[in-house]
Amino acid sequence: MNQSSSAIALHDETQSDAKKTYSAKVYSARSATSALAPGSIQRRTPRPQDIQIEILYCGVCHSDLHQARNEWVSVMPTVYPCVPGHEIVGRVVKAGSAVKKFKEGDIAAVGCMVDSDRVCPSCRAGEEQYCDGPATFTYNSVDTHIGGVTYGGYSESIVVDEAFALRVSKQLNLAATAPLLCAGITTYSPLRHWNVKKGQKVGIAGLGGLGHMGLKFAHAFGANVVLFTTSPNKTEDALRLGAHEVVISKNEAEMQKHLGSFDFILDTVSAVHDLNAYIDLLKRDGTLTLVGAPPTPSPILGFGPLARRRQLAGSMIGGIRETQEMLDFCAEHGITCDIELIRIEQVNEAYERLLKSDVKYRFVIDMASLK
């Protein structure tokens, strides 16, 4: 068969499989006020370029809670039933005829995206997270294959184009790897983009699911790392995770000691707080990058950025290429998330504990409990 004939055959196979589905067990929210409960959904059967993954572990992200409870209604209203979960690690159980990166039995991961338009400038630059399309997110995005919306990782399996699946080293603890697919890449990406390196003074604001990974990465990059927290009782953990110093951000005298001295600060705090205090800590051309999203606007005093050409920026997750780079870096340096492993029936309790910041530092669901 020549190349043209092969392409036609592949297209026909893809078209014929486009609407075929199978039933998968899930835990889903049926409304904004209901608890997550067992159910089932339809997944597409694998196309030639797809892999089907038996999900072994799925991290619990605060975004899951927001989406399940429709708390982002003005930006991304939730379609029910909603199956959250975008920190997925599992085993390939089927591989389509055109798949090249994976074979049955391989360990694979899926993060926050399962597709993009692949042609816009961001996608061509390997920054699919900023796709003009926009990107197809792992759950609560339009499902262009079988209709409805996409469903996430609180499920026994998922089907994804191999271009949006990631390889996972056997050296990594798989459960503790799952949150790297969101918490990990959300902190790795800005540290890489702003070229954090050995000898720089870097601040991490907040010690939670994101902050603890920011500490680990900044330390691994060789920076002199300072954690900012409102909680003195987090000092011991911060030092264990890679901080060289801990500053209590409510203590004005401690903050004053560091004025104008930071190359880069990564702000992971999602609660309302004073950004001006952190801007004042930056040296000339220093950058404060937000990865936390406070619910209300934060006023910025003009002279803070003006005085030393400081920058205030934001960052999302990384693209597929960078996420694979992050996973490989973690394997090389033995970096994973600090987790609490739970059963699927504990997920509603985990949501309530998330609201109280009662986890060190990320919940991960053992999906064997769904079987």
pLDDT digits (tens, 9 = 90+) for 58-117: 999 999 999 999 998 888 899 999 999 999 999 999 999 999 999 999 999 999 999 999
Helix axes 183-193 and 209-220, enclosed angle (nearest 10): 40
Q: Are residues 33 and 112 in the same domain?
A: yes
Tokens of 352: 């309530």
Backbone torsion region of residue 195, taken as left when φ is above 0, otherwise alpha when ψ lies between -120 and 50, otherwise beta? left
Q: Are residues 35 and 150 in the same domain?
A: yes
Tell me, what's the pLDDT at 18?
57
Tell me, what's the pLDDT at 16?
53
Say how many domains are in the chain: 2
Q: Specify whether the CB–CB gap between 226 and 254 falls below 8 A.
A: no
pLDDT-derived band at 4, boundaries 50, 70, 90: very low
Q: Are residues 138 and 267 in the same domain?
A: no
CATH code, domain with 248: 3.40.50.720
Q: Are residues 288 and 362 in the same domain?
A: no
Please, what sign has the CA dihedral across residues 14, 16, 19, 24? negative
Q: Are residues 200 and 265 in the same domain?
A: yes
Across the chain, where does the E strand assignment appear? 21-28, 37-44, 50-60, 88-95, 107-110, 113-115, 136-137, 157-161, 166-167, 201-205, 224-229, 245-248, 262-267, 282-290, 311-314, 339-343, 362-366
Q: Are residues 30 and 169 in the same domain?
A: yes
Q: Specify whether the CB–CB gap between 307 and 281 falls below 8 A.
A: no
Backbone phi, then psi, for 24, in 5-degree steps?
A: -130, 140
Report in angstroms the alpha-carbon separations of 1 from 5, 8, 49, 302: 6, 10, 19, 66
Q: Are residues 41 and 140 in the same domain?
A: yes
Domain contains 253? yes
Tell me, what's the pLDDT at 72?
87
Q: Which domain holds residue 117?
A: 13-182+337-370
Q: Are residues 159 and 194 in the same domain?
A: no
Q: Are residues 106 and 220 in the same domain?
A: no
Q: Are residues 177 and 253 in the same domain?
A: no
pLDDT single digits (tens) 238-264: 999 999 999 999 999 999 999 999 999
Domain contains 256? yes
Q: Specify whether the CB–CB gap between 191 and 214 falls below 8 A.
A: yes
pLDDT single digits (tens) 308-334: 999 999 999 999 999 999 999 999 999
Tell me, what's the pLDDT at 295?
76
CATH code, domain with 17: 3.90.180.10
For the chain, report the end-to-end CA distance as a whole number of angstroms.
43
Give the pTM.
Answer: 0.92
Tokens of 297: 């606007």
Q: Return the exposure string of 42-75: e unless at least 16 CB atoms fall within 10 Å of the residue's CB, then b.
A: ebbbbbbbbbbbbbbbbbbbbbbbbbbbbeeeee
Specify the higher pLDDT residue, 9 or 229.
229
Q: Are residues 175 and 36 in the same domain?
A: yes
Domain contains 140? yes
Domain contains 332? no
18-24 long-range contacts, Cβ below 8 Å, gap at least 24? 18/44, 18/47, 18/145, 18/146, 19/44, 19/146, 20/44, 20/45, 21/45, 21/146, 24/155, 24/156, 24/157, 24/158
Instruction: Name 21's Cβ contacts closer than 8 Å, sequence gap at least 6.
Output: 42, 43, 44, 45, 146
Cβ neighbours around 82 below 10 Å, total: 25
Domain contains 8? no
Q: Are residues 66 and 155 in the same domain?
A: yes
